[in-house]
A and B are shown apart, each in its own frame.
Chain A
């Protein structure tokens, strides 16, 4: 219990001193005042509002927030503004500060936020966090996390499906259109100091009415199909499991049980699978050679789904027309990699979810999952080992 001096204005305009008394409890702060009586001066006062009590409650409860480890702000980490979302519910420590003073933090950390695979959830780090309850990943892909191992430590793993889907599907369409209609080359010609006449030979590939083959028809794949429908594209898809009739009809998609059929018939092949042992190197020499020489490969899944050496060869030889990639392996590619200089390749630096709105939603989901895990409540978006 402690007291803070305060002043209350009286109707007469005089100010008098009152003693403000706080009663601390786990649930909230009780606030009331009693007048300080001066000799010869009777005091009247008004009870203060609850705003002050609420503020003090917040400060007190803040002391009880759990601790979370995250990578960094800026550089390859988070935007400054989204860390506010974490700070609402957690005390956060960045990996650099943690590394410099592990003893100070290691016992306290109950949650680890992973963004762009940082901090790396390796045994050396995880075993130094005895209180860790959850590894919360930003993004839906968790190929960089050893889920069985982490679960074996008694630590839950969570990701952020759903919230990433719209932005990623938008990105897939952006890549497809930019590649098909040669937007990057067009812009470069348009702004080139040497351009004096409009070039007439910059020809692209017709998107309307073309055949789109979607490999991987999960949430993101289905949203890509929905967007393509507006372009009157013929939509084929291949998936481990066939979707329901309603889901197919909603987007006008036809199932290809045999992926080879999809590859042979598509003008655009879009990869929307997650990276697993089954999908690693899914698209290699053979698959590329089945594709039309006028076809474009669009990849918004993971770099390792494609045999990159095979892709380079296919692009160099004209086995396929072009590739548009938001993902490669590694990221970024080594600076002498042939993909960087091929004229028929469009590469973006893994920005499929890079909008302020989606980034915020991802962090909100991470925090929601982590908080539930720390409190021992049912954990949304938990990834269980198979």
Chain B
């Protein structure tokens, strides 16, 4: 059976920038693994065998130079929902399929979005630093945050992740506005009590927290620039969990 398992190219197992050992076990159930370094050391031996390229946090990069070494490649499977790091037309043009992992990332990402919003609003970082600072002798009274409960959250990009963020914010009785290329259904809106803002500017003006949850495309690159920031309240916070 070992001989019949297809070969997959990955970055590396272990180390600071590779797969966790326990995740590599999932791969070895179905594949034989070649690390990127091993491929570069011996491309003639490994290259022709590889049918699958797994990309994790952008590595290995699916660039022409790499793909040229992989004549048998059938699919590029990228971990994560975002595909902005992949030249989709080019890869498809090579006869290679591309796969990503939407859905399964949504809860974790929405949780982190809320974690960032709350940590910023309630000054968790500063608080922790003061609490553990060797020089702290008194409790600080001036460390004041902003109220999250009842504030207005503006979600830019109401896909799966955006909708889950709205769901989490409901519990905090936040007023939820959203802007999306297309309006969501009435049921989707009512499920999370979100109000559609046809104009992004309206959302920016009214929100206490602006949450960016879009994919990176030519249409969204630089979506939030100087003008957009100047429309926001001086008391507002920008939270970005999409792409830099």
A positions within 8 Å CB-CB of B = 74-79, 116, 166-167, 169-171, 173-175, 177-178, 180-181, 183-184, 187, 197-201, 203, 206-209, 226-232, 331-333, 335, 340-341, 346-351, 354-359
- A167 and B119: CB pair below 8 A? no
Contact A349 B143, CB 8 Å, known A167-B149, A174-B124: yes
Tell me, rounded to whole Å, the shortest Cβ–Cβ distance linking A20 to chain B: 44
- A354 and B145: CB pair below 8 A? yes
Please, how many angstroms separate the alpha-carbon atoms of A350 and B18 in the complex? Answer: 39
* Partner pick for B115 among A181, A203, A332, A349, CB 8 A cutoff: A181
User: B181 near A: Cβ within 8 Å?
Assistant: no
- A79 and B142: CB pair below 8 A? yes
* Partner pick for A349 among B110, B112, B140, B171, CB 8 A cutoff: B140
Query: Which chain B residues lie closer than 8 Å to A348 at the CB level?
Result: 122, 124, 127-128, 131
Contact A178 B115, CB 8 Å, known A184-B128, A348-B127, A349-B127: yes
Contact A74 B141, CB 8 Å, known A181-B112, A346-B128: yes
Please, how many angstroms separate the alpha-carbon atoms of A335 and B139 in the complex? Answer: 13
Tell me, rounded to whole Å, the shortest Cβ–Cβ distance linking A268 to chain B: 12
* Partner pick for B148 among A170, A187, A349, CB 8 A cutoff: A170
User: B1 near A: Cβ within 8 Å?
Assistant: no
Please, how many angstroms separate the alpha-carbon atoms of A198 and B130 in the complex? Answer: 27
Contact A201 B128, CB 8 Å, known A351-B122, A359-B144: no
* Interface pick from B70-78, B84-92, B162-170: B162-170
Contact A184 B125, CB 8 Å, known A208-B107, A227-B172: yes
- A200 and B144: CB pair below 8 A? no
Tell me, rounded to whole Å, the shortest Cβ–Cβ distance linking A76 to chain B: 5
Please, how many angstroms separate the alpha-carbon atoms of A269 and B21 in the complex? Answer: 29
- B142 and A208: CB pair below 8 A? no
B positions within 8 Å CB-CB of A = 16-18, 20, 56-57, 107-108, 110-112, 114-116, 118-119, 121-125, 127-128, 130-132, 134, 136-150, 167-173
* Partner pick for B124 among A76, A175, A356, A357, CB 8 A cutoff: A175
* Partner pick for A227 among B107, B124, B130, B171, CB 8 A cutoff: B171
- B145 and A346: CB pair below 8 A? no
Please, how many angstroms separate the alpha-carbon atoms of A79 and B127 in the complex? Answer: 17
Query: Which chain B residues lie closer than 8 Å to A209 at the CB level?
Result: 107
Contact A198 B57, CB 8 Å, known A346-B124, A351-B127: yes
Query: Which chain B residues lie closer than 8 Å to A187 at the CB level?
Result: 125
- A166 and B149: CB pair below 8 A? yes
Tell me, rounded to whole Å, the shortest Cβ–Cβ distance linking B125 to chain A: 6
- A332 and B138: CB pair below 8 A? yes
New A-B pairs, 8, CB < 8 Å, besides A178-B119, A349-B143: A75-B141, A166-B147, A201-B16, A206-B111, A332-B138, A347-B127, A348-B124, A349-B136
Q: Which residue of B lies closest to A197 (CB)?
A: B17
Query: Which chain A residues lie closer than 8 Å to B118 at the CB level?
Result: 170, 173-174, 177-178
- A332 and B167: CB pair below 8 A? no
Interface centre among B111, B136, B140, B150 (most CB of A within 10 A): B111
- A183 and B124: CB pair below 8 A? yes
- B138 and A75: CB pair below 8 A? yes
Give the 8 A-B CB pairs with smallest separation, nearest first: A230-B171, A348-B127, A177-B115, A174-B118, A208-B107, A166-B149, A347-B131, A227-B171
Q: Which residue of A lies closest to B58 (CB)?
A: A198
Please, how many angstroms separate the alpha-carbon atoms of A207 and B143 in the complex? Answer: 27
Query: Which chain B residues lie closer than 8 Å to A346 at the CB level?
Result: 124, 128
Contact A351 B123, CB 8 Å, known A76-B139, A230-B171, A332-B137: yes
Query: Which chain B residues lie closer than 8 Å to A230 at the CB level?
Result: 167-172
Q: Which residue of B lies closest to A169 (CB)?
A: B149
Please, how many angstroms separate the alpha-carbon atoms of A184 and B131 in the complex? Answer: 13
Query: Which chain B residues lie closer than 8 Å to A74 at the CB level?
Result: 141-142
> What are 21 inter-chain pairs, A to B, with CB distance below 8 A?
A77-B141, A169-B149, A174-B115, A177-B119, A178-B118, A183-B115, A183-B119, A184-B128, A187-B125, A226-B171, A229-B171, A231-B171, A232-B107, A332-B138, A348-B127, A348-B128, A349-B140, A351-B123, A354-B122, A354-B143, A356-B146
Tell me, rounded to whole Å, the shortest Cβ–Cβ distance linking A175 to chain B: 7
Q: Which residue of B lies closest to A203 (CB)?
A: B20
Please, how many angstroms separate the alpha-carbon atoms of A22 and B18 in the complex? Answer: 85
- B136 and A332: CB pair below 8 A? yes
Q: Which residue of B lies closest to A336 (CB)?
A: B134
- B142 and A116: CB pair below 8 A? no
